[in-house]
Amino acid sequence: MEVTIKIFRYNPEKDQRGNYVTYKVEAHENDRVLDVLEYIKGKIDGALSFRRSCAHGVCGSDAMRINGRNMLACKVLIRDVGANITVEPILGLPIKKDLIVDMEPFFDNYKKVLPYFINDSPLPADGRERLQSPEERARFDETTKCILCAACTTSCPSYWANGEYYGPAAIVNAHRFIFDSRDEAADQRLQILAETDGIARCHTAYNCTEACPREIKVTKAIGEVKMAIMTGKLD
Amino acid sequence: MANVHQFDVVVVGAGGAGLMAGLYASRGAKTAVISKLYPTRSHTGAAQGGISAALGNYEEDKPEWHTYDTVKGSDYLGDQDAIEFMCSEAIDAVLELEHMGLPFDRTHEGRISQRPFGGHTNNETGKPVRRACHAADRTGHMILQTLYQQCLKNKVNFFDEYQVLDFILVNGRAAGVVAVELATGELHTFHAKAVIFATGGHGRIFEVTSNAYAYTGDGAAILLRRGIPLEDMEFFQFHPTGIYKLGILITEGVRGEGGILINGQGERFMPKYAPAVKDLASRDVISRAIYTEIREGRGVNGQNYVYLDVRPESVNRYAAMDGRTNPDGSPYTITGEQVLAKLPDIIDFCRVYLGVDPVTQMMPIQPTAHYTMGGIPTNKYGEVVVDDKDTIFPGLYAAGECACVSVHGANRLGTNSLLDLVVFGKHAGLKAAEYAKHTDFEKLPGDAESTARSAFDALRNGSGRENAFDISNELKKVMFEDVGIYRNEKDMTAALEKVRELQRRFKDVGVNDTGRIFNTELLNAWELGNMLEVAETVAVGALNRKESRGGHSREDYPERDDQNWLKHSLITKKDGRLEIGYKPVVITKYQPKARVY
Amino acid sequence: MAKKSRTLSLKERGLTNFEAIMWLFTRLSALGMYALILFALIGALVMGARNNMNFADVMRWAFMPNVSHVQSTDLQSTDAWATPLWRLTASALLLLAAAHGVHGLVVIADDYIAGARAQHCASVEHCFSGCDEPHGFVAHLDFVNLTMDDRRWTMFHGLSSIVYRR
Amino acid sequence: MGLKRDVSLSAGLRYRGPAAYLTYILHRIGGLGMGIFIAVHILASFVGGRFGGILNGIYENWAFQIFIFFCALFHAINGLRITILDLFPKLLDYHVEAIWIEWAVFIPLFGVSVFVIVSTALGG
Ligand SMILES: Cc1cc2nc3c(=O)[nH]c(=O)nc-3n(C[C@H](O)[C@H](O)[C@H](O)COP(=O)(O)OP(=O)(O)OC[C@H]3O[C@@H](n4cnc5c(N)ncnc54)[C@H](O)[C@@H]3O)c2cc1C
Ligand code: HEM
Ligand code: SF4
Ligand code: F3S
Ligand code: FES
């Protein structure tokens, strides 16, 4: 079938501002949008730039706005979006070129929530694993899935309004540790998230949950962090 | 030379191996980790099934069994000293990951949960043993995330989105690397005492592959050009279960949980090929079995695929037939919910890409190019060795999929790669830091960047008569069809000819994008150059090896030939031509014998 | 695997931060307003508002149980509405609504108006000082909170100044 | 080099978010509407005179009453949903249903009110 695809283009070395270029290409309905982009890059305009690596939704490289909504280009098929497609960079991060945005502010926010395991207590005497029941493990299973694709944070109206907001991705990654029964720094992370640019900026707009390609219930994770701050209970 | 950075140790690649190396090197030396992708985008994140270690959390298991299974899996081409080393370090390596916070699935006692995987057995009974430690079906993702997190915690220096183009060697020692910063297009020279390559594999030279776009063999190609040999390049693993046409991997864990393979006539065919372990035989065996079924007309609807069936009713039926039991002796059964809980990502892939729900439908699968067994030759400490006498190249290290220790020999067992990353990544990091401590910097040559720059210039100024996309597709097709699962003299000779023709045509590739900022067209073209380089070594190696062993099966030489071929091959590039040499296999405890499952 | 049931103190969990507290306050005040509105509505109906007022006025009373709102309808006597109970209810509702509303406006202002570059324009006092007792009081309360923190203070200045996108 | 981080209000509003995104926007408009207009209303009553009279005139206008009533009713009902879901995050699993319920409550209530306001305006 013929697909009409309108792509946001911006060449920092030539253009003052971005513009849209429309391409018409042949594609199969089971093709990924990423395949179409690859084809355009390979055969029509080699300069078209975007990030990609794994091509099956596990590396988080290719979050972009497809038909007005954040998705991974490698995880959405033509049959899901139809023959008229608009592809734009994700919102709220500086645009470097075409569909490539500057990810540094995103990773900077991520790094603020101490996104690493902290436990300074001595290891079990036998040197084996720290024990954790299957239930305790299940408590934070969902948020371990995050691939840091930024689809959530760049879909959040609060983040658009204010780039200082840590954003849903950072909170999701804090959640992964706050509710890990083996971790010992929940209080530090909660204090950070209780700050002005933390959870108070989330107004339950839900765009993040809808955007997450890993189907993490982002809003729910944020909600659990909020209630941990309000009640002090970590279960 | 405006952009010169100086570090004791430079790690190229930020996947599992690179991060582990970076973590350990930075404890003893000033270290930089350079990666063309953001670290968390590395392909380690795609690994699904698990990481092996004889923890014995469910049932008896021993490192010796693990060692033997790996030796057998390698079809006796693996170096047994290195394998023994890896399998005995495995337990501590996995526990260390747990101590770093990795969220493994748990047993009821709260220990790390394990699942069976192809080729891992109880050596006494010959039955599959639970050795693969897992975090649902995203074990690699969790390893990658955990290691990256630890690197952040320990303030490791990262250069994200810097693509390494060249290796600098001075007086036969490592002196650094040259990289391009994607965001600006500027070249940077990293002056170093020790360089660790951890750039991953090159599965993208095949049409149907589970590998990432980034798997273009950069590390191997860069070093090949600099005169370092590559070992056992003919050995490439085809994973039996990739999603039909797309190649996306369906983990072996599916069969570990009881999934079975069904041909177009609705029969379970693996008992014919591996009577003892059936669907849990080693990968090369199953891939060939599937191919044989397809070639004999028993593919589904006459097409190139068969089914993988993990529907609970099928699993339970066949598990009862096989007499499979739980650790407590009760019959093994599984429910739809358990399938969902244990394999969430697989279910998701099938729904998204196939519109198939594995809980109620069978998945169409086909073998997919998966893992690079060969690579940069190293010893068990990650030190690169350049000849048959294991002579060390001072200051140069390699770890992970780009390296060939060799612990995987002719065929890698599932879950052994993640183990390889962690164990040899760590030792490469330690060795490099130690080496740097006792060494001075080599003086940088004045024109360190010139090779990289001229490679770029050639692409920028190419005539443009040829299109890189077309060349790339032709390469992938010919490699998959003629240097794939089944190989023979005639087809491979033609394929090699084709690869060389493509190399010539590549000289006429021109890049349209003249910009500097994120010039992905230029970088992709450069990567294509690497793929062509690496593909040639694969074809040459495969054509040369006149026997069938592990992942290398020749129709014209169907038997393993220990008499003549129980040796590693080393391919070196001299004056633009590939030369083949050999190196003995280290055999300690296990004498080669017939490999039956 | 001993279950560590921990409860963190206010300070340990960061609930000393103004925004975090206000997040909770916004929710609790929402519930509070519901309670008061329901109370006022029932009160109005019990006092026979059905017979004396039209639907709109009942609503107006429920949302703003303020004597002046009754005055502007054509009731014979407003005495019943002028008891301390209703004055208290009215004040409480006004208090909650104003604190809730003012904070809400500040949140929106913070999102869409850049504080630092905002012109020095009509300040908080100009907006609120003319109001009757409860308003002035609540506005002042929030104002005190505002002045505690530079960022919020400048933000508030921005509130009534030109809209500027970051 | 590169385009600055720049999310205009219109770009944000064009984002195709889920149902909850619409309620988020309306909740803001509602809160903002009430906040500003109640403040002005009080101000107007206080200032009095001709100016105040004009302002109060706007308030008495039926179209304006519909608007402000929309603000108040929607904000109140949606605010209750948010409050409940926020305080019991487990219920967020049912957020889609919650929004359906919300509209089911809001539409009849608002419909009746509009009818009353309009008929009063026409009648009186
Ligand atoms: C789908 C899939 C599933 C798998 N499942 C399992 C499993 O269950 N168990 C198991 O044991 N193994 C599994 N494997 C194999 C295993 O995951 C890989 O072999 C392993 O992750 C490779 O890790 P690495 O660190 O060597 O490379 P990678 O993780 O791929 O990292 C390569 C790094 O090198 C960088 N790089 C590459 N080229 C350059 C350059 N020119 N300049 C700068 N940086 C560069 C990249 O940016 C990246 O950071 C699986 C593999 C795949 C594809
Ligand atoms: C029963 C009555 C009310 C309820 C249940 C209610 C509920 C809420 C809730 C829960 C929020 C938080 C939104 C968020 O942060 O995500 C909120 C915000 C807000 N409220 Fe109310 N509210 C009520 C009355 C009022 C009144 C009377 C006003 C005006 C004076 C008002 C003005 C605001 C404003 C301006 C916001 C900020 C909007 C935003 O952040 O998006 N509210 N309300
Ligand atoms: S939470 Fe989901 S959308 Fe957000 S960064 Fe992680 S994977 Fe991406
Ligand atoms: S979209 Fe934003 S406002 Fe909250 S629920 Fe998600 S973070
Ligand atoms: S390319 Fe990896 S997530 Fe899309």
How far apart, in whole angstroms, are the C-alpha atoms of residue B523 and residue B37? 12
DSSP helix/strand/coil, C1: coil
Per-residue H/E/C for B368-391: EEEEECCEEEECCCCEEECCCCCC
Map tokens 């320990």 to a residue.
B154
**Residue A54 C-alpha to ligand 5 middle, in angstroms?**
5
Of the candidates B101, B246, B353, the beta carbon closest to that of A182 is on: B101
Total tally of structural domains belonging to chain C:
1
Taking the CA of residue C153 and the nearest CA in chain A, the distance in Å comes to: 14
Pairs of CB atoms within 8 A across C/D: 54
Which atom of ligand 3 is least distant from the CA of A218? 1
Is A108 found in the same domain as A60? no
**pLDDT reading at C145 higher than 50:** no
Taking the CA of residue D48 and the nearest CA in chain A, the distance in Å comes to: 37
- With a pLDDT cut of 70, the percent of chain B lying above it is 100
Which residues in chain A belong to E strands, given as ranges?
A: 2-9, 19-26, 63-66, 69-72, 84-88, 95-97, 100-101
Is A108 found in the same domain as A97? no
Residue C71: predicted pLDDT: 61
What the block records as the tokens of A35 is 């395949």
C119 pLDDT band, cuts 50/70/90, is very low
Which atom of ligand 4 is least distant from the CA of A219? 5
How far apart, in whole angstroms, are the C-alpha atoms of residue A220 and residue A228? 12
The residue whose CA is least distant from atom 2 of ligand 3 is A212
Is A201 found in the same domain as A114? yes
Q: How many DSSP H helices and E strands does chain A contain?
A: 9, 7
B347 ligand 1 Cβ < 6 A = no
Total tally of structural domains belonging to chain D:
1
Q: Left if phi > 0, otherwise alpha if psi is -120 to 50, otherwise beta: which for B218?
A: alpha
- Report chain C residues whose CB lies below 8 A from the CB of D39: 127
* Segments forming the whole domain that contains residue C66: 19-112
Each residue of C114-139: b (16+ CB within 10 Å) or e?
bbeebeeeeebeebbeebeebbbbbb
Residue C57: predicted pLDDT: 73
How far apart, in whole angstroms, are the C-alpha atoms of residue B527 and residue B512? 16
Is A115 found in the same domain as A90? no
C34 has a chain D CB within 8 A of its CB: yes
Residue C153: predicted pLDDT: 41
A92-116 pLDDT tens trace: 999 999 999 999 999 999 999 999 9
C118 falls within a domain: no
- Report chain C residues whose CB lies below 8 A from the CB of D42: 131-132, 135
Of the candidates D5, D20, D85, the beta carbon closest to that of A163 is on: D5
DSSP helix/strand/coil, A95: strand
**Which of A8, A13, A91 is the mutation pick for testing D, counting most D CBs within 10 A?**
A91
C162 falls within a domain: no
C68-101 pLDDT tens trace: 666 666 666 667 777 888 888 888 998 899 899 9
Map tokens 């967020």 to a residue.
D92
Is A140 found in the same domain as A73? no
Of the candidates C68, C101, C112, the beta carbon closest to that of D35 is on: C101
A204 ligand 4 Cβ < 6 A = yes
B210 ligand 1 Cβ < 6 A = yes
Is A108 found in the same domain as A95? no
Interface pTM (ipTM) of the complex? Answer: 0.91
D119 falls within a domain: yes
DSSP helix/strand/coil, B465: coil
Q: Which residues of chain A have pLDDT under 70?
A: none
Residue C52: predicted pLDDT: 66
Map tokens 């999934």 to a residue.
B259
C133 pLDDT band, cuts 50/70/90, is very low
Which residues does B352 contact at the CB level (< 8 Å), separation at least 6?
A57, A75, A77
The string of DSSP codes covering C134-145 is HHHHHHHHHHHH
**Across the interface, do C3 and A131 touch by the CB < 8 Å criterion?**
no
Residue C56: predicted pLDDT: 67
Helices D95-123 and D19-47 cross at an angle (nearest 10°) of 40
Of the candidates B38, B153, B352, the beta carbon closest to that of A75 is on: B352
C52 falls within a domain: yes
Which of A43, A68, A101 terminates a domain? The answer is A101
- Report chain D residues whose CB lies below 8 A from the CB of C34: 76, 80
A168 ligand 4 Cβ < 6 A = yes
pLDDT in tens, chain D (124 residues): 688 887 888 899 999 999 999 999 999 999 999 988 888 877 777 777 787 788 778 877 888 888 988 999 999 999 999 999 999 999 999 999 999 999 999 999 999 888 888 887 777 5
**Across the interface, do B106 and A134 touch by the CB < 8 Å criterion?**
yes
Residue C50: predicted pLDDT: 60
C-alpha count within 13 angstroms, C-beta hemisphere, residue B74: 35
What the block records as the tokens of B493 is 């000779």
Sheet holding B128-133, edge to edge: B51-52, B128-133, B114-121
How far apart, in whole angstroms, are the C-alpha atoms of residue A157 and residue A203? 9
- Indicate the DSSP class of residue B119: E
* Segments forming the whole domain that contains residue A83: 2-101
Is A154 found in the same domain as A83? no
In chain C, which residue's Cα lies nearest the Cα of D27?
C104
How far apart, in whole angstroms, are the C-alpha atoms of residue C22 and residue A226? 12
Residue C117: predicted pLDDT: 30
Total tally of structural domains belonging to chain A:
2
Which residues does C10 contact at the CB level (< 8 Å), separation at least 6?
A232, C16
What the block records as the tokens of B343 is 């394999």
Map tokens 């006792």 to a residue.
B438
Which residues does B588 contact at the CB level (< 8 Å), separation at least 6?
B80, B81, B84
Using alpha carbons, select from B208, B237, B205, B235 the residue that is nearest to residue B218: B205
Active site residue B283: yes
- Indicate the DSSP class of residue A181: T
Hey, CA dihedral for D101, D102, D103, D108, is it positive or negative? positive
- Closest ligand, as measured to the CA of C107: 2
**Across the interface, do D86 and A207 touch by the CB < 8 Å criterion?**
no
C116 pLDDT band, cuts 50/70/90, is very low
* Segments forming the whole domain that contains residue D113: 17-123
- Report chain B residues whose CB lies below 8 A from the CB of A148: 38, 40
How far apart, in whole angstroms, are the C-alpha atoms of residue A92 and residue A162? 9
Name B239's bridge partners. Answer: B368
The dihedral formed by the CA atoms of B314, B316, B317 and B323, expressed in degrees to the nearest 10 = 140
Which of A73, A101, A129 terminates a domain? The answer is A101
Which of A82, A101, A120 terminates a domain? The answer is A101
B585 has a chain A CB within 8 A of its CB: no
Residue C131: predicted pLDDT: 33
Is A111 found in the same domain as A7? no
Give the domain CATH number at A157. 1.10.1060.10
Residue C158: predicted pLDDT: 37
B173-182 pLDDT tens trace: 999 999 999 9
DSSP helix/strand/coil, B268: strand
Residue B342: predicted pLDDT: 87
Residue C159: predicted pLDDT: 37
**Across the interface, do D5 and A105 touch by the CB < 8 Å criterion?**
yes
- Of B130, B255, B283, B487, the catalytic one is B283
D2 falls within a domain: no
What the block records as the tokens of B404 is 């060939």
**Across the interface, do C24 and A230 touch by the CB < 8 Å criterion?**
yes
How far apart, in whole angstroms, are the C-alpha atoms of residue C142 and residue C101? 10
C-alpha count within 13 angstroms, C-beta hemisphere, residue A72: 21
How far apart, in whole angstroms, are the C-alpha atoms of residue B305 and residue A150? 36
Give the domain CATH number at A74. 3.10.20.30
Which atom of ligand 1 is least distant from the CA of B222? 41
Is A111 found in the same domain as A97? no
How far apart, in whole angstroms, are the C-alpha atoms of residue A72 and residue A152? 11
Give the domain CATH number at D23. 1.20.1300
Q: Which residues of chain B have pLDDT under 50?
A: none
Is A154 found in the same domain as A121? yes
C62 pLDDT band, cuts 50/70/90, is confident
Using alpha carbons, select from B537, B411, B414, B512 the residue that is nearest to residue B461: B512
Tell me how far apart the 2 most distant CA atoms of chain C are, in Å: 72
**pLDDT reading at C157 higher than 70:** no
Of the residues A32, A50, A52, A100, which should be mutated to test ligand 5's pocket, given the most ligand atoms within 8 Å of the CB? Answer: A52
Tell me if A166 sits within 8 A of A158, measured CB to CB.
Answer: no
The whole model's pTM is what?
A: 0.93
